[in-house]
Amino acid sequence: MEETLRTLLSHLLSHPTPSSLTQSLLLLTSLLKLHTLLALTIQILIPPLIPPVLFPILTHLIGADKFPSQALHAILYAYIYYIPIMAVNGVTESFISSVASPADISRQSRAMVLFSGVFLAVAWGLLRLAGMGGEALVWANCVNLGVRIVWSVRFITAWYKVRGGRDVGWDRVVPRVGTMLLAGMLALGIRGVGMRGGLDGFGRAVGVVGSAGVVFVVGMYIPLVFSCVLIYGRAYFEREFLGIAYGMVYPKGDKKTS
């Protein structure tokens, strides 16, 4: 995806026009919104599956005697955060590599040296002071990628501002209130079921979490009515965004072939 995005942005922004700037903004914010929704889905569904589903699989592949389950649990939990952050960083840095001038690349290289120092400092603190194990390196990488994302966001904001004073519209990347409420309710519901033993066993865990995943995906599209939360009354969640994303994949007028 990063290579494809880099190719598309390089083509759109080699000679920026009002139309290409608008298209690139839509592409950039849509991909970031998609990654945000995927990250939210991962946070809801994957943690409850680690003990009943992932542990048996990894124990079979790795062997219980080679890796203590407690240490493995902590590392897997850290990776649940690391992978979405890495995906967002990939999108933002693809933009930079598509439009950066030699001076921009030089500034980014100097910043990377600083970010490496941040990684080393955080890793040392988590390993030595907090006494964490292998997961300390994963969390340190999360911090490293986080500061890189902040730097990239500032670069992207300034780049579009110089070219016509355009606002990137970072608020479009943030999930809607209804989506966040639904995500929170499903997360609490899954963990409540787990506390009652409802996630014991491979089949039951997959069934419960899979059902919650279907509810979340459907809930992001169909209109839902909150009877007790009257902030928006009728909340369409991510219907508009999903329609735009579908239109980017299948533009009107395209003929689908089997």
Label residues 122-158 b or e (16+ Cβ within 10 Å = b): bbeebeeeeebeebbbbbbbbbbbbbbbebbbebbee
pLDDT at site 168: 86
Q: What angle do CA 247, 248, 251 make, to 5 degrees?
A: 55
pLDDT of 44 over the 80 cut: yes
Label residues 187-201 b or e (16+ Cβ within 10 Å = b): beebeebbeeeebee
| Contact criterion met (CB below 8 Å) for 38 and 188 | no
Q: Rounded CA gap, 144 and 146, in Å?
A: 5
pTM of the model: 0.78
Mean pLDDT of the chain: 80
In the structure encoding, which two tokens stand for residue 248, read together? 């980017």
Among 2-6, 94-98, 100-104, 222-226, name the one with the lowest average pLDDT: 222-226
* Domain ranges (residues) in the chain: 1-174, 175-249
| Contact criterion met (CB below 8 Å) for 1 and 212 | no
What number is the average pLDDT over the span 150-170? 88
225-241 pLDDT, tens digit each = 333 333 333 433 465 66
166-205 pLDDT, tens digit each = 888 888 888 877 788 888 888 888 888 877 777 777 787 8
In the structure, what pLDDT confidence band is assigned to residue 222 with cuts at 50, 70 and 90? low
Q: Rounded CA gap, 183 and 42, in Å?
A: 11
Q: Rounded CA gap, 179 and 206, in Å?
A: 22
Residue 197 CA neighbour count, 13 Å, CB half: 0
pLDDT at site 234: 40
pLDDT at site 249: 54
pLDDT at site 233: 37
Residue 50 CA, chain-centre distance (Å), reads: 19
